[in-house]
Amino acid sequence: MTATELHNAIPRPARRRHWPISHPVATVFLFAVAALVVAPLLSLILFAIQGDSELWPHLVAYVLPVATLNTILLLAGVALVAAVAGVGTAWMVTAYEFPGRSTFVWLLPLPLAFPTYIVAYVYVDILDAAGPVQTALRALVGWRSAADYWFPSVRSLGGAILVMGFVLYPYVYLATRAMFQTQSATLIEMARSLGASRWRLARDITLPLARPAIAAGLALAMLEALNDIGASEYLGVQTLTLSIFNTWLNRSSLPGAAQIACVMLFVVAALIALERYGRRRQSFTGLDRHPGIARRIPLERGKKWLAALGCLLPVGLGFLIPLVYLAQEVVSRGLLIGFDPSLFRHTLTTVAIAAGATALTLVLGFGVVFALRLVRRPFAQNCVFVASLGYAVPGTVLALGLLSPLVGIDEAINWVTRTVAGASVGLVLAGSSAAVMIAYAVRFLAIATGFAQAGLARISTELDDAARTVGTRPSGLLWSIHLPLLRPALWGAALLVFVDCLKELPATLLLRPLNVETLSTYIYQFATRGNFEEGALAALLIVLVGIVPVIRMTRHADEAVQAGVTPARGWTA
């Protein structure tokens, strides 16, 4: 008897099984999706260990301290602005009645439609020494030049924090508002009738209950800020992401850049793990038998205008002012009259790629979460965690890491076609828009898995077991029970992923095939030559295409609340 046979012969306690068979399809799917995310990270690590160790002392001495400090300050600042603006406005529109409230409900998420770097360009134009504000100020006070007085500079860390904070707060607003809406109305009414003050109510009931939603929204906002290159570069803020870029380009050191990226990735993974650890014992609390919106309190004279102003400020700064500025540039530069016909094609391309990528992301994201529900093992948990890591990788780095595995697959395909048909087919994946879509999917998978987990958490596993006892197969369970119940979550994820794909720049720039431009890359052409205003029409088009899904997302969330099913929390894994 060999050792193996001996080993197999020893009786072991039967493992508890949740399903009669161990779901080979679901298991393979879990590993495949995790591998898709791991592949670019792995090739990044391979780059990192290729050498250039002499660069480290330099990076540690001169680059990393400043870049790390700037990054921490930037993220903390953005988190603060986004939390105050996002939670504050979400609370106001949910709890109070004031002029314009119903308009603000859908106006407030709109900054999401703006790529951050465009808003940065707009504010430099408006607020810089030669801009309309300072010019008017000089005329008013009689100063002769910008050297005569002090004016806060947009091109600074503070400027970057404000710009990013007011563009990214909608992540917090959307997540938190959905949570506020589904909070037990009974609980709030009860506290009110017991004489709890508004602040007490917010401090002791509403905010603690909304904490997971706020954390999830903040995580998204901070990761977006971390990914940014365009705005930080233009505003002169040396972040880690920008250092990766500079190390790669100016030292021709891909290994060095990959090393910084690995450090950053490690930190982000630790942060995500910490956030999950912090939430581990929280059970889902939003399940009220009668989830309803608590009665909104009408505000008195002074206060109601204050509330309106409080909502106008973030949406004005993050959306209305940039929108009006771009529209004015479009008109004054005659961009509509001299309409660039290629813009029409670029718009279609952008929408098609974003739609394709969204579909792919949803299939993969909801697929892994569904598979996790079937498999229910620690390794499956880990696969889903790994699948959500792509969000933490800056687009440029992700694109670089993705290229090698894609080319590898292409070379395998070519080997097969050469052997079978005697002809090469070229770069099927790496040389087509598929590369861009796969990059988007890897990057935005976390949004889909987050929504899917939040949505599935609301569907009792008892339902699965009940279905199982009447002989439903896993696929039937998915199609006829889970998917219909998951509709709100699917919608939420689809819209958010779609809008993010519309705006994506760094990965698109690096991976798009010959003759393909998206609106984002089109604007970038002008922006890199310091002529971004010429791209104003394209910027408006991104915003216009993006507005529709953002408004739809808000409305849909409301309908879902009325129906009693809302993916209220857990946007990230």
Question: In whole angstroms, how close is the CB of 478 to another protein at the nearest point?
Answer: 14
CA-based end-to-end distance of the chain: 47
How many residues sit close enough to another protein to count as binding (CB under 8 A)?
83
Cβ closer to another protein: 254 or 293?
Answer: 254
Residue 373 engages another protein in binding (rule: CB under 8 A):
no
For another protein, the binding residue among 381, 525, 551, 558 (CB under 8 A) is: 525
Residue 426 engages another protein in binding (rule: CB under 8 A):
yes
Cβ closer to another protein: 9 or 147?
Answer: 147
Options 79-87, 187-195, 279-287, 510-518: segment touching another protein (CB under 8 A): 510-518
Question: In whole angstroms, how close is the CB of 416 to another protein at the nearest point?
Answer: 13
- C-alpha dihedral, 114 to 115 to 119 to 122, nearest 10°: -100
Residue 252 engages another protein in binding (rule: CB under 8 A):
yes
Q: Which of residues 427-466 bind another protein (CB under 8 A)?
A: 427-428, 430-434, 437
* Pairwise CA distance, residues 463 & 460, whole Å: 5
Q: Is 434:356 a contact under the CB 8 Å cutoff?
A: no
* Pairwise CA distance, residues 74 & 505, whole Å: 20
For another protein, the binding residue among 7, 17, 58, 203 (CB under 8 A) is: 58
Residue 358 engages another protein in binding (rule: CB under 8 A):
yes
| Residue 270 burial (C-beta neighbours within 10 Å; 0-12, 13-18, 19+) | exposed
Options 74-82, 92-100, 124-132, 457-465: segment touching another protein (CB under 8 A): 124-132
Which spans in 11-63 are helix H? 24-48, 55-58
Cβ closer to another protein: 116 or 521?
Answer: 521
Question: In whole angstroms, how close is the CB of 171 to another protein at the nearest point?
Answer: 20
Question: In whole angstroms, how close is the CB of 404 to another protein at the nearest point?
Answer: 6
Sign of CA dihedral 392, 396, 399, 403: negative
Question: In whole angstroms, how close is the CB of 536 to another protein at the nearest point?
Answer: 12
Integer CA distances (angstroms), 7 to 60, 329, 391, 488, in order: 51, 76, 43, 49
For another protein, the binding residue among 396, 449, 453, 572 (CB under 8 A) is: 396
Could you count the other beta carbons within 10 Å of the beta carbon of residue 425? Answer: 13
Residue 52 engages another protein in binding (rule: CB under 8 A):
no
Q: Is 68:238 a contact under the CB 8 Å cutoff?
A: no
DSSP 8-class letter at 422: S
Question: In whole angstroms, how close is the CB of 555 to another protein at the nearest point?
Answer: 14
* Pairwise CA distance, residues 53 & 388, whole Å: 30
Question: In whole angstroms, how close is the CB of 415 to another protein at the nearest point?
Answer: 11
Options 75-83, 161-169, 505-513, 565-573: segment touching another protein (CB under 8 A): 505-513
Cβ closer to another protein: 183 or 361?
Answer: 361
For another protein, the binding residue among 204, 300, 411, 559 (CB under 8 A) is: 411
Q: Which of residues 178-217 bind another protein (CB under 8 A)?
A: none
> What are the tokens at 419?
């052997």
* Pairwise CA distance, residues 496 & 445, whole Å: 11
Q: Which of residues 63-102 bind another protein (CB under 8 A)?
A: 63, 66
**Exposed e or buried b for every residue in 470-505, given b needs 16+ CB within 10 A?**
eebebeebbeebbeeebebbbbbbbbbbbbbbbbbb
For another protein, the binding residue among 28, 46, 273, 352 (CB under 8 A) is: 352
